[in-house]
Amino acid sequence: MTALVTSIHPTPESIAAFVQNLPDATPVTMLNLLRFRELASYKADAPGAGVAGQSGREAYAVYSRHVMPLLAGVGGKPVWMGDAHCSVIAPEGESWDEVLLVQYPNKGAFLKMIQSPAYLAIVHHRTAALADSRLVATVASA
């Protein structure tokens, strides 16, 4: 069995590749694959840390409530969300709880949102909520 690598946040290298490889003025749809922690894991010094005993799914719901106005503020919108039931083609042991598609008018809108002070003030809810995630930037085929 291949060891699974967990990923919660983008790396400087992945952001640089995102900036370099995506066209500037094209809508971008982000594919989010989410696996929640059983219990949210907040750092003790996190501002407005979550409720003791809160599930990862509940912490992600808090993040979602806070991120929706920020998303709308850059012209983005959720396109589709659903529960993941099973992986048909995936490495052994890989599974997800939820799939989310979020569309941004362009790559700059995504970058503006995730670099904003308002976003940086709430992202700890996402961090506490997730055991693992994937975020894949997509553009429509010509």
pLDDT above 90 (res 50): no
Q: What is the mean pLDDT of residues 106-124?
A: 97
DSSP H stretches of helix in the chain = 12-21, 56-73, 107-115, 117-120, 123-129
Q: What is the mean pLDDT of residues 45-49?
A: 62
Q: Which CATH class is domain 26-138?
A: alpha beta
pLDDT band at 136 (very low <50, low <70, confident <90, very high): very high
In the prediction, which pLDDT does 58 show?
96
Query: What is the tens place of the pLDDT at every residue in 56-114?
Result: 999 999 999 999 999 999 999 999 999 999 999 999 989 999 999 999 999 999 999 99
Q: Where are the domains of the chain?
A: 26-138
pLDDT band at 6 (very low <50, low <70, confident <90, very high): confident
Alpha-carbon distance of 90 to 101, in angstroms, equals: 19
15: left (phi over 0), alpha (psi -120 to 50) or beta: alpha
pLDDT above 60 (res 26): yes
With a CB cutoff of 8 Å and minimum separation 6, the contacts of 10 are 18, 114, 135
Dig out the tokens for 56 from the structure.
């990862």
Whether the CB-CB separation of 133 and 7 falls below 8 Å is answered with yes
In the prediction, which pLDDT does 4 show?
59
Q: pTM of this prediction?
A: 0.90
DSSP H or E run through 127: helix 123-129
9 phi and psi angles, rounded to 5 deg = -120, 150
In the prediction, which pLDDT does 48 show?
58
67 phi and psi angles, rounded to 5 deg = -80, -25
